[in-house]
Structure 1
Amino acid sequence: MTWDEALSLFYGQQVSLNRAGRTIAAYQTDLNQFLSFAADRLGVEPEELEVARVDLRTIRAFFGLLAEKGLARKSIARKLAALRTFFKFLCREGIVTVNPVRRVASPKLGRKLPDFLYAEQVEKLMRSPVQDTVLGLRNQVLLEMLYGSGLRVSELVGLDRQDVDCEAGLVRVKGKGSKERVIPMTAPCRGAVNRYTSARHDREEALLLNNRGARLSARSVRRILDNLVEKAALECHVHPHMLRHTFATHLLDGGADLRSVQELLGHEKLSSTQIYTHLTRERLKEVYRGTHPRAKA
C-alpha cells in the first residue's frame, strides 16, 4: 500500500474517533513532511512510496536532520508522536507487520512552567472593559469565562446561549474529543452574562458575537484580549490560555485538590494537571526567598 493510500485510511479513522480538526491538521502537516523526506531519501516519487519501505534508518535520519536544523525538542516530539500514532494504526490494520518507530526514543523535554497572572493583575484586567456598550459587556463575559471558569478559547467561542444556566450558576462545555463537562460560574460571571444577553436584540444562538453579529472567532478573542491588556496597562503579554493557567494556579493556591482541578479543566490525565503543583511550589520558594531574613542573606 502506498503512503497516500494509508494516510487516507488513517485520516478517516481519526475523523470517526472525533479527533479535533486541529489535531488532524497537525498530523497531516507532520506526516506529509516525513513523506517528502522519505521519498527523496529512498529515490521515489512521494505518490509511489510504499509504507513497507519505511524503515528505522529512514526515520532516524529524518529526526537527525530536524535536530541538525535546530528544531525545538517539543516540535520534534510532536512529529514523532504523529508517526507513532500512524504506524500503530498501520499495524492494527495489518497494513504493515513491523513498527519501525517503536525503537525511536523520544527527546527529553525540559518542563516549562506555565505563565500566570497574580490576583492584582487579574483585577486590573477585569476592570478594563467598558460597561456601557454591548461589545464592552461581551468583553466582560469573555474575561470572566476564561478566568472564572478556566475555559479553553475554543470552548469559549463554541458556547451557545443554551449552554449557560445563570440561575444554577453552571456552564456546559464541549471540550477536546467532543467530551462535555459542566463547570461552575462565578457570581461576577453570571452577572456579566445576564447584562450582556439583556443588552442584545438578536436571536443568534451563539453566546459571544462579533461586531457584525456573527459568532466570535478564536482569533478575535486574542485580538480583544490584547486590547484589554493594553488598556489595563499590564506589563506582560497575556494570551487566552494564560487565563486558564491562572484559573488553575489560583484554585490550587486557595487549597483546591488536584483531582477537582483536573475535572474542572477537563484534563484526561492527572499528569497534565500536576504541572500546576510545580508552579505553586516555585511560587512558594520565590515568596520564601524574598521574605525570610535567612533566605535573603
Structure 2
Amino acid sequence: MNGAAARAEFLTWLAAERRASPHTIEAYGRDVGDLLGFLTLHQGAEPDLAALGELRPADLRGFLAARAKEGASNSTRARQLAAIRSFLRFLARRHGLAPVAVAAMRGPKRVAPVPRALSRGDARAVGKEIGEIRHTERTERPDYQAARDVALFTLLYGCGLRISEALGLSVGEAPLPGQDSSLRITGKGGKQRVVPVLPVVRAAIADWLRHRGPGEADEPLFLGARGKRLDPAVAQKALRDYRRLAGLPEHATPHALRHSFATHLLAGGADLRAIQELLGHASLSTTQRYTSVDAEGLLATWRLAHPRAD
C-alpha cells in the first residue's frame, strides 16, 4: 500500500467511524498530503507503509521546519502535527506499524495572539455612531434598530462584556439610571462576576427600552427583527457595516471592544488583578496579554516622540 492509499483509508475511517465533520476530514487530508509530498520530495519516491513505519522524529521535525520556512505559523504546524499523529496511530492500529516517530514528538508552542484593540476615539465612536447604520431587513424599524445597536455596543465597550454575555441578558437585568451601579454577569463555565456600569451605558439602555417596549423580567433584553433574542451574527454584521463606512480596521469586531476596554483600563493605570476580575478571566496569564498591547503602544509613542528614534 502506498502513501496515497493509506491516506484515503485514513480519511474513510475518519468519516465512517469517527464521524468527523467534512471540514476536519478536508483539513486532515490536506495535512497528511503535505507530509506525503514532503517525504516524496526528500526520499525520492512516494512512501509506502514500510517507509511510514520507519519514520523517526527527525523526519517530522524536518517536515515542520520546511513548513515554517514556507511561512506556516506555530498554530498551523501544531495542527498539522496533530493530524499526522492521528494518521500514524491509525496505521499502527490497522496495519501493525510502530508509531515511533510521534512517540516523543512535541509540537510547536502555540503563541497566543496579542489582543487587537481600537483607539479610544474609535471605540467611543462605535457606540455613538453605529445607530446611523441601517439594516436591510424591512421588518425592522430604523429608529428601533439604531437604539438597540447603540445600547449594545456602548454596553460592550463600557463593561468589557463578551457578545454572548450581553445578548444573554434579560429585561430584569437591564442596568438603568437610578439603580445599583453594578451588573452581575454569568460568564464562561457559569462563573459570575460584578462589573460597574457607567452612566452613559445606563442612558443608552434606557433609550433602547423605550423603543423596545415593556417586557417580562425573564424576556431577552436585546431583540431581533422577529421579536426573538438578537442573533450574534446580526450584531456582528452591524459593526462590520459600520467599520466599512467609518474606515475602521478589519479587527474592529464586537470582541475588539472587550479588548479595548481592558487595554484602555491598563493604560490608565488599572491594576491587572482588577482587570482580570472585570473580564472574568480564570487565569491571570490570560489577562497579562494586555500588557503586551500596552507595551506596543508605549513603543509607538516613543518612536513618534523621541528625537533619536529614527
Q: TM-score range by the shorter chain?
A: 0.5 to 0.7
- Deviation string for 1:248-285 (max 9, x for gaps)? 10000010010011111111111111111111111101
The gaps in structure 2 that reach 5 residues or longer are 1-13, 33-52, 86-100, 133-141
Mapped partners of 2:241, 2:57: distance in 1 = 45
Judge conservation of contact 2:175–2:183 (CA < 8 Å) in 1.
Answer: yes
User: 1: distance between equivalents of 2:193 and 2:73?
Assistant: 34
**Shift in CA distance, 269/159, structure 1 to aligned 2, threshold 3 Å:** same
Matches of 2:260 and 2:123, distance apart in 1: 9
Q: Which of 272, 292, 295 is the equivalent residue of 2:306? A: 292
1:90 match: none
Give, in angstroms, the shift of residue 181 of structure 1: 1.6
Deviations 1:127-184 (A, max 9, x none): 2133881211110111112111111122122111222333113222221112222211
1:47-86 deviation line (CA, Å, top 9, x unaligned): xxxxxxxx9x89999999898778643255468899x9xx
For 2:149, which of 139, 154, 165 is the aligned residue?
Answer: 139
Alignment correspondent of 2:116 = 115
The separation in 2 between residues aligned to 1:242 and 1:211, in whole angstroms, is: 25
Amino acid at match of 1:158: G
Match of 2:231 in 1: 217
1:148 to 149, 158, 167: 158
Determine the structure 1 residue equivalent to 2:294. Answer: 280
The equivalent of 2:88 in structure 1 is none
Question: How far off is 1:232 after superposition?
Answer: 3.1
- Per the alignment, residue 198 of structure 1 pairs with 210
User: Equivalent of 2:184, from 172, 177, 183?
Assistant: 172
The answer to whether structure 1 residue 229 and structure 2 residue 243 are counterparts is: yes
Answer yes or no: is 1:252 the counterpart of 2:266: yes
TM-score (norm 1): 0.67
* Distance in 2, Cα, partners of 1:136 & 1:58: 60
Change (3 A) 1:63 1:247: farther
Q: SS in structure 2 opposite 1:130?
A: helix
TM-score, length of structure 2 as denominator length: 0.65
Q: Are 2:125 and 1:124 aligned?
A: yes
Deviation at 1:234?
2.7
Question: How much does 1:121 deviate?
Answer: 1.5
1:182 aligned counterpart, secondary structure? strand
Identity %: 37
Q: Distance in 1 between matches of 2:58 and 2:229?
A: 45
2 CA distance for matches of 1:142 and 1:230?
19
Of structures 1 and 2, the larger Rg is shown by: 2
Residue type of the partner of 2:109? K
Equivalent position amino acid for 2:293 in 1: L
Amino acid in the other structure paired with 1:118: S
Alpha carbons 2:131, 2:146 under 8 Å: kept: yes
Match of 1:189 among 201, 206, 210: 201
Q: Deviations over 1:14-45 (max 9, x none)?
A: xxxxxxxxxxx99x959x969xx8xxxxxxxx
Corresponding residue for residue 262 of structure 1: 276
CA distance in 2, matches of 1:203, 1:170: 22
How far apart are 1:111 and its partner, in Å?
4.7
CA 1:291–1:212: 2 relative to 1, 3 Å = same
Which ranges of structure 1 fall in alignment gaps of 5 or more residues? Answer: 9-24, 38-54, 85-99
AA aligned to 1:196 is: W
After superposition, the Cα gap between the structure-2 partners of 1:184 and 1:232, relative to the gap in structure 1 and judged at 3 Å, is same
Task: Give matches, 1:52-71, under 5 Å.
Answer: none
Q: Would the aligned equivalents of 2:116 and 2:251 in 1 still touch at CA under 8 Å?
A: no
